[in-house]
């Protein structure tokens, strides 16, 4: 278990760890892949959440996933992306979290993920938790813990 | 300043925060861009360090940097990558750290970077520090701090 006192300081930094869906670049599962690639290049994100028409989270897609479909032994063939759609190459095996999930779980999952997608109980996409937001809060903790507590060696 | 007691626990987890150059995918500044792109796709890294022929760090290059050179209004034109080299599009304005740099600086820089390149005083590339390694160590800290210290509110 994460120390409760540490958790209180982490949450106290004002960080919600949470970036609202309205501020997150996403793609739809029916997006054509050539178009999806251009959007990813423009936003400069290497991976983004994928939604269905109801705004439910259905996957993640990255530039590498798309390009690997377009590469053969002779090099990159962008024409292979035409008539193919996001759902065909998106990742469907990835961790997601509910709003208000324990920090324990969030910190554990972020060791291996650049960001975590947040959904509600019906799978609707609510936003993301990034390593950036968590590291900001950790910096706050490391700088302030001894202002809040006396640490006596046991 | 980061609390010294926190720093001791972070370093105590056995983490050096440091992945040796031998275990890091890199590209050379004279690599042709079409070849560089294929290597990045194969390794699935979105960005890697760039070295010169003397193994000194000279930049970082990402898939997005390469592809943005190949994109025009009609889409992706991979033929634009032929006869172009890594040094032409690599990022040259990026933070790097020396071996043994204070955690203060490392944690601060990792808020905005996925990894930090580590060099010696002559600019030779030694390895990288990743967010993953730092977050592992933070998890250790959050779980063990109250086993090591009594925290008395001030």
Q: Give B92-103 pLDDT, tens digit per residue.
A: 999 999 988 888
Task: Please give the pLDDT value at position A3.
Answer: 77
Mean pLDDT of A50-62: 97
Q: Assess whether pLDDT exceeds 70 at residue A13.
A: no
> Of B68, B78, B114, which has the smallest distance from its Cβ to A75's Cβ?
B78
For every residue of B34-103, DSSP letters joined together read HHHHHHHHHHT-SEEEEE-TTSBEEEEEEHHHHHHHHEETTEE-GGGGTT-BGGGT-B----EEETT--H
Check CB contact of B128 with chain A, cutoff 8 Å.
no
CA distance B132 to B19: 11
Contact A76 B34 (CB under 8 A): yes
Contact B135 A68 (CB under 8 A): no
* Number of inter-chain CB pairs under 8 A, A vs B: 132
Report percent pLDDT > 90 for chain B.
64
Check CB contact of B109 with chain A, cutoff 8 Å.
no
Q: Give B82-126 pLDDT, tens digit per residue.
A: 889 999 999 999 999 998 888 889 999 999 999 999 999 999 999
Mean pLDDT of A7-35: 87
Measured between beta carbons, the chain B residues lying within 8 angstroms of A9 are none
> Of B38, B63, B149, which has the smallest distance from its Cβ to A151's Cβ?
B149
Q: Give B36-61 pLDDT, tens digit per residue.
A: 999 999 898 889 999 999 999 999 99
Measured between beta carbons, the chain A residues lying within 8 angstroms of B40 are 64
Mean pLDDT of A28-38: 95
The region of weakest confidence among A16-30, A101-115, B11-25, B82-96 is: B11-25
Level-2 CATH architecture, domain A4-147: Roll (3.10)
Report percent pLDDT > 90 for chain A.
64
Q: Where are the domains of chain B?
A: 4-148
Task: Please give the pLDDT value at position A18.
Answer: 85
- Binning pLDDT at 50, 70 and 90, where does residue A17 land? confident
Q: Is the ipTM of this complex over 0.95?
A: no
DSSP A45: -
CATH class of B4-148: alpha beta
Instruction: Dig out the tokens for B33 from the structure.
Output: 């861009």
Mean pLDDT for chain B overall: 91
Task: Please give the pLDDT value at position A69.
Answer: 92
SS (H, E, C) A93-154: CCCEEECCCCHHHHHHHCCCCCEEEEECCCCEEEEEEEHHHHHHHHHHHHHHHHHHEEEEEC
Nearest residue in chain A measured CA to CA from B133 = A111
Measured between beta carbons, the chain A residues lying within 8 angstroms of B150 are 151-152, 154
β-bridge partners, A51: A28, A57
């Amino acid at each position: 278990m994460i120390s409760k006192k540490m958790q209180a300081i982490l949450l106290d930094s004002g960080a919600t760890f949470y970036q609202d869906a309205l501020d997150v670049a996403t793609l739809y599962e029916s997006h054509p892949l050539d178009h999806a690639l251009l959007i990813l290049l423009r936003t400069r994100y290497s991976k983004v959440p994928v939604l269905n028409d109801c705004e439910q989270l259905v996957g993640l897609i990255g530039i590498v996933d798309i390009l690997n479909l377009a590469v053969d032994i002779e090099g990159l063939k962008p024409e292979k992306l035409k008539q193919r759609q996001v759902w065909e190459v998106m990742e469907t095996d990835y961790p997601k979290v509910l709003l208000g999930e324990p920090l324990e779980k969030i910190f554990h999952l972020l060791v291996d993920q650049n960001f975590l997608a947040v959904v509600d109980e019906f799978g609707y996409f609510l936003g993301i938790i990034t390593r950036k937001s968590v590291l900001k809060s950790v910096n706050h903790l490391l700088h302030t813990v001894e202002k809040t507590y006396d640490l006596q060696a046991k």
